Amino acid sequence: MATPIFRYHIVLKIICFLFLALWVYAATSKLLIYQEFEIQLSKSPFASNYSTLLVWMIPLTEYILAGLFLFPKYILSALYLSFSMMVLFTIYILGVLNFSNAIPCACGGVITTLSWNEHLLFNILFIGLAILGILLFKKQNTIDS
């Protein structure tokens, strides 16, 4: 029978892997369609003034976040930052859905095939995973102490 610490460790590793994969996939897919990504950002009701900066900053931030998951001493920071990014993306989606007539999607890859409501649920799922990861990380460290 697996000990609680072992189970926490496995679930935490899975969460970290999911975020690592999400951030690498999201950043790479945006850069692969760079021009389309830039056009979509420039049409955004909330980001158009900053689109030339965001077109590089968003993927770069996503790669940095992915990289943080590779180093055990940065995992808690990576989880907090991932939580923050997902909350920001979710607030953006809610803003677009509630306050905008034009709804451009500046996401990349498979995520562009999601409806806005599905995208919202996807983000909420990852917010929940970030919270669970933070709690498991802290629980794991409490048990280790």
d(CA 97, CA 110): 20
Chain centre distance of CA 72: 19
Structure token digits, residue 18: 């999911």
Quick one: 12 exposed, middle or buried, by C-beta within 10 A (0-12, 13-18, 19+)?
A: buried
Identify the segments of the chain with pLDDT beneath 50. none
List, for residues 5-32, the tens digit of each pLDDT value.
Answer: 678 889 999 999 999 999 999 999 989 9
Res 104: pLDDT? 62
List, for residues 121-133, the tens digit of each pLDDT value.
Answer: 999 999 999 999 9
